[in-house]
Amino acid sequence: MRMPDRTGMFFDMYKAVQPRLVTEFVYRHSPVHDDALVYMSVESNSAEGPKFAREVIGALEPLGVHAEDITGDELGKTHARHLAGGRPGNIKGERTIRFEFPETAGGLGDFLGQLRTDWFLTMLHYRNHGGQVGKVLAGVRVPEGEEPAFNAMLESLNLSFVDETDNPIYLDFMR
């Protein structure tokens, strides 16, 4: 998908495709582009086929999202989705948090709903691995002075999380 890169867009997209089960989101903010390239996987059964894809794409169009069904594109499904967005450089105030979400309906939506409008989502990798815990990596640009409020929000989620902002792998390969 190509989407307008604005605060709250992921939550709006999440709500637009409900009640379908989102199994993967891959996104990385680029401060030099107005639009973002995003990979989203949505669970369907094989009988739904192209009609299902058209319905999902149609639900996203009012948000200004240009989406394409890559069900038959092996390069896109296997490799390119992991490279969404590339390395944007240093984003001032970016915090990188690794979460474990319980695999229940609405778990991702609960997190997205807690983000304030002045906290910009800069990166999201969510993948339902078919277990009881979904692993999520999120980047959030937190304005200077808002760190205590952001930390309080993290604690209020009652989720297992690790702040990876200073992780050498993040610093070398993802920033």
Which residues lie below 8 Å from residue 95, measured CB to CB, with a gap of 6+? 139, 140, 141, 142, 150, 163, 165
Which pLDDT belongs to residue 142? Answer: 94
As a whole number, mean pLDDT of residues 24-31 equals 78
Check residues 32 and 130 and name the one with the higher pLDDT: 32
Residue whose C-alpha is closest to residue 84's, from 33, 43, 130: 33
CATH of 2-83, one of 1.10.8, 3.30.70, 1.10.20, 1.10.12: 3.30.70
Q: What CA–CA distance (Å, rounded) separates 153 from 52?
A: 36
Sheet strands side by side (includes 133-141): 2-4, 35-42, 22-28, 120-127, 133-141, 94-102, 160-163
Its pTM stands at 0.65
Which pLDDT belongs to residue 49? Answer: 75
Per-residue pLDDT tens digits for 49-96: 788 889 999 999 999 999 988 888 776 776 566 656 666 667 889 998
Per-residue pLDDT tens digits for 122-175: 888 877 666 667 778 888 999 999 999 999 999 998 888 899 988 877 777 677
Which pLDDT belongs to residue 105? Answer: 65
| CATH fold label, 94-174 | Alpha-Beta Plaits (3.30.70)
